[in-house]
Amino acid sequence: MARAGLNATLSYVNGATRTYSVRAGDLSFGAEMVAAESAARIYRAYYPHKSANQQFSVQVLLKNWAERADFMNWLSAYAQWALDPNTVRTAFPYMTVSVSSRSFYQRGLPLAGFEWGAHTGMMAFSPVIIFEAAFSPGQASAGIATSSVINKWAAFASDPAIQYFYPFGTQLDADSAPENYSQVQLPASDTPTTGTTSTQLIGPSGKTAPKGASATDLALLGEF
């Protein structure tokens, strides 16, 4: 017998796309701004860095025991694939949740386990699945980022967010705004300079020592 009232799909890609249609009840989702704050005696500054998706959840409405058992078995197959340590991955094993009638489309990883077993007196079930969002706003790919050892100044120049962090970015007063958000100011190189350097000694009275004079010479002159 065909199920009625299906308005949402859950899917994941394991070789092929595995899709399961369900009835979705309550949905929850949100976004937050990753930011920092600083305060002085007069001003208070707010530095927004980027936006990030919060956790989201979907309530699945199951009308009988057969639907519940079949849905939990499908989730179990997903969990076994997602947690398999022998699987070579190039992308995170996220699940896609889509409710087109509510313009809801999210991708994430379930945070809790799945339940089987008897529930006395219950003939309908409404489990709530909570997901950790797999994507941030504007993120183009789910590919797993790899790290490597590179020149640190090249890393600073290639990271667009570095302009917001001390000491590499343009530092602002609380009531100031940057003139150019796209310009990254690199720190001076910490490589020691080569060659000889000369130092001019000045005594407490402000007199300049003759060229080549040392601190001992100034002490003899009563300057120190």
pLDDT tier for residue 51 given thresholds of 50, 70 and 90? confident
Per the structure, the count of domains in the chain is 2
Tens-digit pLDDT profile for residues 95-105: 999 998 888 88
Residues 18 and 119 in one domain: yes
Residues 109 and 21 in one domain: yes
With respect to residue 173, please indicate whether it lies within any of the assigned structural domains. yes
Comparing C-alpha atoms, which of 27, 119, 19 is closest to residue 65?
119
Contact 96, 10 (CB under 8 A): yes
Pairing between strand 95-99 and 104-110? antiparallel
pLDDT tier for residue 192 given thresholds of 50, 70 and 90? very low
Give the structural domain span for 104. 8-133
Q: Which comes out higher in pLDDT, residue 212 or 127?
A: 127
Residues 122 and 184 in one domain: no
Considering 103, 133, 163, which residue would you say is the last residue of a domain? 133
